[in-house]
Amino acid sequence: MNLPPAPASLEDRRTVVLAGHDAGPVAEAFARAHGLPLLAEPSSNARFGPNAVGPYRLLLEHFGADSAQPIERVVMFGRPTLSRPVAALLERADVPSALYQPVPVAWYQPGRRTELPLENLADLADFAGRGPSDWLDAWLLAGAAAQHALDVVLAAEPAATGPSVGALVWRHARGQLMLGSSNGIRDVDLAGLPAAEPAATVYANRGLAGIDGTISTATGIALGGRQDTTLLLGDVTFLHDAGGLLLGSGEPEPGLRIVVLNDAGGPSLICWSTGLCANPDATRTPSSGSSAPPTPWTSRHSPQRTASGTAR
């Protein structure tokens, strides 16, 4: 998708494009047309292109109010749901924000949210302006440095971690990808490197009951889309819908690959809304007291066989 370049008559503004769940490729096209950094969650289906910044949530403080290049405005597509740094940015009274809302959405309630709803891209362009010449470069350089540092840390870990597994799944998924709630989608949000073009359509159940029926949802996506489908989820989310592995007599077998991160419940009670924990062992320590690191394993959906071994 392409949009016309932003006209030179628009004001220069240090705006960021925030792409939340179900934003769509229009967010990427808008960021590219206006020379703005793109901060895209995995299930936005906008996490690609030359303006996308992978580990963006690590950089929001770097471009905070007291920095040399503070964020001035936020343009939002879709519904961000993954991190407190993003929520804190949207709550700042000194940073105006606008929501691209061509049609009404149930989650946006006037009076309860601060974003200005705008129905067309022309009004959104006037609000966002165009990026100053050094604005996008500053974000891309900071993003590359943060990505390198993250890659070094993950490479030094002797065992699999949530972010390392998430990055691999993100890199190799083709066709359709579904991400489980809690740690899984946040690990990809942290470590998943944006590609030049999207390789898979991404799905996720977001909301109060996000872990309900995850395997069943992925099964339906695989059957309905008639494409190879990968599901990444944590152990509790997997167990919560283990019955979804069962196929009735005569039912078609979906082309579904399941990757389970055995992380002892992940952030269920401690860090569910951030992907980060005050206790670094909190996502690794089962109730038995074991401190074994998380272990991924994969399976192909089958009524006779549900696990094919341990991923290395």
Instruction: For 92-118, write each residue's pLDDT tens digit.
Output: 999 999 999 998 888 888 888 889 999
End-of-domain residue from the set 84, 106, 140: 140
Residue 193, domain CATH: 3.40.50.970
**Is 147 part of a structural domain of the chain?**
no
Q: Are residue 105 and residue 223 in the same domain, yes or no?
A: no
**Is 237 part of a structural domain of the chain?**
yes
**pLDDT beyond 60 at 270:** no
Q: Are residue 38 and residue 92 in the same domain, yes or no?
A: yes
Q: What percent of the chain has pLDDT over 90?
A: 62
**Is 212 part of a structural domain of the chain?**
yes
Q: Are residue 296 and residue 229 in the same domain, yes or no?
A: yes
Q: Are residue 66 and residue 128 in the same domain, yes or no?
A: yes
Residue 29, domain CATH: 3.40.50.1220
* pLDDT tens per residue, range 195-237: 999 999 999 987 655 678 899 999 999 999 888 999 999 888 8
| Residue 240's pLDDT band (cuts 50, 70, 90) | confident
pTM of the entire predicted model: 0.84
Task: Find the helix or strand (DSSP H, E) in which 231 lies.
Answer: strand 229-234
Give the pLDDT score at 105: 87
**Is 207 part of a structural domain of the chain?**
yes
Q: For helices 162-172 and 183-191, what crossing angle results, to 10°?
A: 70
**Is 202 part of a structural domain of the chain?**
yes
Give the pLDDT score at 307: 35
Q: Which of 84-93, 195-204, 303-312 has the lowest mean pLDDT?
A: 303-312
Q: Are residue 173 and residue 217 in the same domain, yes or no?
A: yes
End-of-domain residue from the set 94, 114, 140: 140
Within 10 angstroms of residue 252's Cβ, the number of other Cβ atoms is 9
What are the tokens at 105? 């959405």
* Mean of the per-residue pLDDT values of the chain: 85
Give the pLDDT score at 182: 79
Q: Are residue 261 and residue 195 in the same domain, yes or no?
A: yes
CA 34/CA 127 separation, integer angstroms: 11
Q: Are residue 65 and residue 190 in the same domain, yes or no?
A: no
- Please count the structural domains in the chain: 2
Give the pLDDT score at 290: 36
**Is 219 part of a structural domain of the chain?**
yes
Q: Are residue 294 and residue 242 in the same domain, yes or no?
A: yes
* pLDDT tens per residue, range 35-62: 999 999 999 999 999 999 999 999 999 9
| Residue 185's pLDDT band (cuts 50, 70, 90) | very high
Q: Which residues lie across from 230 on neighbouring strands?
A: 177, 257
More confident site: 175 or 268: 175
Going by the DSSP 8-state scheme, the letter that residue 176 receives in this structure is E
Domain that holds residue 91: 15-140
**Is 36 part of a structural domain of the chain?**
yes
